[in-house]
Structure 1
Amino acid sequence: VHTTYSIDAFTLELPMMGLQGIHDSSMACDFARYCANLDFFSFNDHAESLTPDNWREQKQIIQQCNISNDDPITNDLVVFPGWEWTQIGTTKENHWGHRNVIFKDIQDLPARPIGSRTPETGLGIFDTTQQAVGARWLDPFNFKRYSDLNWLLDTVRNIPFCEDGVDSTELPLDCYEYARTPRDLFLKLDEWGSDNIVIPHGQSWGFHVPTGTSWDNRLNEMGHDSSKQVLLEIMSGHGNSEEFRNISAANFLQNDELSCPEPTDNFLPCCWQAGEMQKKRCDGLTDDECNARVELAKKYTLAGGPYSNMVFPEAKPEEWLNCDQCTDCFKPAFNYRPKQSAQYALAISNFESLDSDFQRYKFGFIASTDDHTARPGTGYKQYERRKMTFATGAKSEIWEYKIKSEDPNFPELPKITPGESQPDTERASSFVYPGGILAVHSEGRGKDEIWTALKNKNVYGTSGPRILLWFDLVNSPNGKVPMGSEIVMSQNPKFVVRAAGSLKQLSGCSDESIDSLSPKRLEYLCAGECY
């Protein structure tokens, strides 16, 4: 879960967005315990914006939230510390994607979170949030709230970068540490020696993912560590990342040149739709000039990748129709990237590698919320879309940041560096969900038992409902083994599958929740409904 320690989460809660405001780490604990009734969750604020003070404070809150674990009878909630390594590339070759890093204990945590922004990128993807600071002049009654965002941005910018090439354990406490690649991240985690799990997250979500990005370029020592990346997220509040579809937003030719695919019955490439949009902007032009602009619009859309909405920055979102969307996927992620799906990851092999760790992916599958309002496990009921999903948007048109083009009838070449272009937030908000949930088969509800189940891949994920599922192999050489087990056998496998649907929910909240929180806090966090 994210709190407003994350810059994007802070921005989404500004008064101009019409939501509630600050959601800190203590609220996440209360929501998990009294609203969602969870057994466990993890903190995963963006490492790129976690200040040293916020990192230390979050560790203290986790310790307080975990106090009940000292008594095996009352251990009602386990909280794992961690962060999100939020890397975004400009091409399919240099894009590694997001990784959630979680730890078993706070005692042996790294002294600082390790992010992906580098001295060359500034705030990276979060640079676009600076625009929101200017709203304080339009909303003087909330001047301080916008100034607080400005303070946070300045504070993060002023954290000195840690010296490169120095052992992570020997760096100063208050510098910002970064890893350019997953391999760099893995090596830095090894220097601390603490038990950890690194979980690829939101892989098929094309909001910032370059066109053509694939699991292929990560099945090597630069992108994978089989001892750490034991789990893969296949569902979150950003949608499903499980299914592969033979669809593509671009055709890759020799030398990685791009061409625009024609639409099919179930897939409309955005490059093609950009051409159709250009045709409607051809009044007064000759056929030759119009056709030239159509081809230019297609070319710029292919080059723009996830920022293709900036080809026509003044266009209404509905003009793009459902381009680049998976129309027959279950709860699809926005701008679906099929070669980032779990099914594609499992289907590929690296035949050039002699190391078995880099020949195939062997993930256990989980789901998560990825909520940005300190609300882990929001999928227990379908209600309050703006509070219980990642849906966002200004509360009225006066607050919308509008980008003007020199000529609205002429296509523009988008900037592809994260933070320099305005992403397609309006259309993306149509592809957000209450979030998934992770289940484990563990020996108990304590921290040790849950962590062991995670490491052993005795896990599964759902799109939110708390379905009970057992999927056992019953004729292995080792006898009956649960999901997540790795078995070598020559005979056909036999499985026994059992499932039970999630419990039908009553309206309102339980007496325990009502007695534990004040009416004001219960309404602020749970919005009147609990599990």
Structure 2
Amino acid sequence: MGVQPWDKEGNTLRSLKLNRPLDFAVVTDHAELFGETAICNSPDMEGYSAWQCKLYRKYPRAAFFMFNFKAGSRSGRLGFCGEDGSLCRDAGSGPWQAMQNAAEDAYDRSEHCEFTSFVGYEWTGLGAGDMANLHRNVIFRNASVPDQPLSFVDYPSAETLWSGLDKECLERQDGCDALIIPHNSNLSAGKMFSVADLDGNPVETGTRSKRQQYEPIVEVMQHKGSSECFFSTGQTEDELCAFEQLPYSRFAGKFFSLLQKSPKPTDGFLRDVLNNGLILEQDTGINPFQFGFIASTDTHIGAAGGVAEDNYLGHGGAGAPASETTMRGLPDDIEYNPGGLAVVWAEENSRDAIFSAMRRKETYGTSGPRMVVRFFAAKELDKDLCSSSNYVAEAYENGVPMGGVLPPLSDGSAPAFLVSAAMDSGTPASQGTPLQQIQIIKGWIDQKGNKRQKVHTVAGNPDNGASVDLKSCRREGDGYKQLCEVWKDPEFDASQRAYYYARVVENPSCRWSQYICAANRVDCSSSASIPAGLEACCADTHRPVIQERAWTSPIWYSPEGDN
């Protein structure tokens, strides 16, 4: 497919083709500006000649900031939308219908089930005063959708979005159903999962139940960093938490120095949020943060699935805008990454099956590779289950899969966890990277009410000596094609609430930026060897090596069982 930038004749100057097709995808454009951009691109529409539209057509980067700030400021729409905003709201019907039509055209309804497309959009919420990222992707089960997308302009809180979907979708009783995926919470300054309303008052129990209903899964990884866990030298033992961690805690921190605050553990990182959920369950009987995990790209150039480190074209949006300049240097800002992939365990490749899998949280995310990962828990599992040819069926029969809740245990036993992973086999042109290790991360609330976390390496070898040659990006050292283990928590306490999820880690490999730096023979000891546009190759913040990974949805344990 052709991707931006375009020449003066409208031809794309770059192209991208995936080595392997996707099974499913959804385009989630920003609903707040559907109508505004439609008007500014349509000479026959009222408002086309407004000064804001002239700015949009002549200086799109400046308009990007102005339009988005207005849409996220809770102060209504741009002036050319009319006093009640109806001009832009009505104009948004065209793009919304076009998105529905495109999803329908792409959906393979034949018996082959080769590709599933969903209808969806992005609700682009921002925190009041600090521009904290509250973005959420709204995904619909089928072609029955609201007449208009419910945007942040008209539904300026998560709570009003949920109640709006009740009215505009579920209560129609025509098959409309939706779920919401909180989007890169690492930039939310801790506000994505607030249990208070806009005035700071605690939300009611019923509102927490609504979150359970509408937000079963969250993004653990995407273009703008990882939201798994926080890392700081000397403060965090788990060094793998440093993976794709951004240096700022809110979206606006990238652009405005007054809002450029360093991240901290409570800024929306999911391990801390999961622990908060255990505390809320203990206090109220409801865990509103019993989330499953996926990953996504957040691409803004229409390149779904473009996650290959060795062929990254940038994702646009808040990163480096696609232009002829980016074609000569790094195609994106150095702190961003290609994003990840969402994986679901569904009975078939169809909207209903995939949607149901997301709702029951039988999902996992990867940072790009296509590892095959399983995670189960049960009261008892055969310690030799990994050697069985039918281990998956036996695990389903005896336990719960990722996203599930273990029944209470009161006989002094500890649950058994089965985790297995197969490396991404790659393609003939680009072979996959061997696995290094599997870890199970446990979070719990101790007897004193403190939030606790611990990482257990259960398979593989974190000290296997694998490395990568930074000049050629050739991977070196041994690893594993497959790993599997049945593990029991040696510190299990049946009276303590806990969650467990698996993290599968590959051997080291080159990051996208290093592939480009190495291909251009950048030598940071010689300034003459650094081509224009590649100065970031030698920045202190450049991370040349990464360890790609997968994160399963958690499995929970509660002394009272499933709530």
1:42–1:432 CA distance, 2 compared to 1 (3 A): same
Instruction: Say whether 1:377 aligns with 2:294.
Output: no
For residue 22 of structure 1, report the CA deviation from its aligned partner: 12
Match of 1:187 in 2: 163
Q: Select the residue among 97, 103, 116 that pairs with 1:56.
A: 97
Give per-residue Cα distances to partners, 1:288-331, cap 9 Å, x unaligned: xxxxxxxxxxxxxx9x9934754599xxxxxxxxx866xxxxxx
Matches within 5 A, 1:377-456: 377-380=305-308, 382-386=310-314, 391-393=319-321, 395=323, 429-456=333-360
Instruction: Say whether 1:204 aligns with 2:204.
Output: no
1:242–1:479 CA distance, 2 compared to 1 (3 A): same
Match of 2:387 in 1: none
Identity %: 24
Q: Select the residue among 285, 292, 295 that pairs with 1:356.
A: 285
TM-score relative to the length of structure 1: 0.53
SS in 2 for 1:76: coil
Matches within 5 A, 1:340-355: 340-349=268-277, 351=280, 355=284
SS in 1 for 2:94: helix
The 8 Å contact of residues 215 and 339 in structure 1, kept in 2 or not, is answered as no
1:383–1:390 CA distance, 2 compared to 1 (3 A): farther
List gaps (5 residues or longer) in structure 1: 118-177, 248-268, 272-301, 314-322, 326-334, 398-425, 509-531
The letter of the residue matching 2:302 is A
The 8 Å contact of residues 300 and 316 in structure 2, kept in 1 or not, is answered as no
SS in 1 for 2:218: strand
Instruction: Say whether 1:227 aligns with 2:223.
Output: no
The letter of the residue matching 2:292 is G
For residue 242 of structure 1, report the CA deviation from its aligned partner: 0.5
Match of 2:21 in 1: 37
Q: How many residues align?
A: 327
For residue 187 of structure 1, report the CA deviation from its aligned partner: 0.8
Give per-residue Cα distances to partners, 1:317-347, cap 9 Å, x unaligned: xxxxxx866xxxxxxxxx6775211111101
Give per-residue Cα distances to partners, 1:346-392, cap 9 Å, x unaligned: 011465997533x4410011101111111111124521433699741
Give per-residue Cα distances to partners, 1:108-137, cap 9 Å, x unaligned: 2000111112xxxxxxxxxxxxxxxxxxxx
Q: Select the residue among 481, 487, 499 that pairs with 2:421.
A: 499
Match of 1:116 in 2: 152
CA distance in 1, matches of 2:340, 2:93: 30
CA distance in 1, matches of 2:373, 2:281: 37
The 8 Å contact of residues 389 and 434 in structure 1, kept in 2 or not, is answered as no
Give per-residue Cα distances to partners, 1:499-519, cap 9 Å, x unaligned: 0000122339xxxxxxxxxxx
1:87–1:505 CA distance, 2 compared to 1 (3 A): same
The letter of the residue matching 1:438 is A
1:305–1:99 CA distance, 2 compared to 1 (3 A): closer
CA distance in 2, matches of 1:370, 1:235: 10
Match of 2:230 in 1: 244
CA distance in 2, matches of 1:19, 1:469: 41
1:311–1:36 CA distance, 2 compared to 1 (3 A): same
1:353–1:434 CA distance, 2 compared to 1 (3 A): same
The 8 Å contact of residues 133 and 192 in structure 2, kept in 1 or not, is answered as no
CA distance in 2, matches of 1:473, 1:45: 37
Match of 1:260 in 2: none
Instruction: Say whether 1:103 aligns with 2:140.
Output: yes
SS in 1 for 2:404: coil
1:456–1:45 CA distance, 2 compared to 1 (3 A): same
1:196–1:203 CA distance, 2 compared to 1 (3 A): same
The 8 Å contact of residues 233 and 368 in structure 1, kept in 2 or not, is answered as yes
For residue 89 of structure 1, report the CA deviation from its aligned partner: 1.7
The letter of the residue matching 2:368 is G
Q: Which fold has the larger relative contact order, with Cα–Cα distance below 8 Å and residues 6 or more apart in sequence? A: 1
CA distance in 2, matches of 1:96, 1:311: 16
For residue 79 of structure 1, report the CA deviation from its aligned partner: 0.5
Match of 1:485 in 2: 404
The 8 Å contact of residues 182 and 192 in structure 2, kept in 1 or not, is answered as no
For residue 394 of structure 1, report the CA deviation from its aligned partner: 6.9
SS in 2 for 1:111: coil
1:430–1:481 CA distance, 2 compared to 1 (3 A): same
Q: Select the residue among 193, 213, 219 that pairs with 1:215.
A: 193
The letter of the residue matching 1:340 is G
CA distance in 2, matches of 1:381, 1:308: 23
Instruction: Say whether 1:306 aligns with 2:256.
Output: no
List gaps (5 residues or longer) in structure 2: 35-91, 171-175, 197-201, 234-245, 382-396, 431-563
For residue 96 of structure 1, report the CA deviation from its aligned partner: 6.8
For residue 484 of structure 1, report the CA deviation from its aligned partner: 1.0
Question: Over aligned residues, Cα RMSD in angstroms?
Answer: 4.4
Match of 1:291 in 2: none
SS in 1 for 2:103: helix
Match of 1:87 in 2: 125
The letter of the residue matching 2:100 is K
TM-score relative to the length of structure 2: 0.50
Q: Select the residue among 451, 465, 471 that pairs with 2:369.
A: 465
CA distance in 2, matches of 1:388, 1:310: 19
The 8 Å contact of residues 234 and 240 in structure 1, kept in 2 or not, is answered as yes
The letter of the residue matching 1:446 is S
For residue 54 of structure 1, report the CA deviation from its aligned partner: 0.9
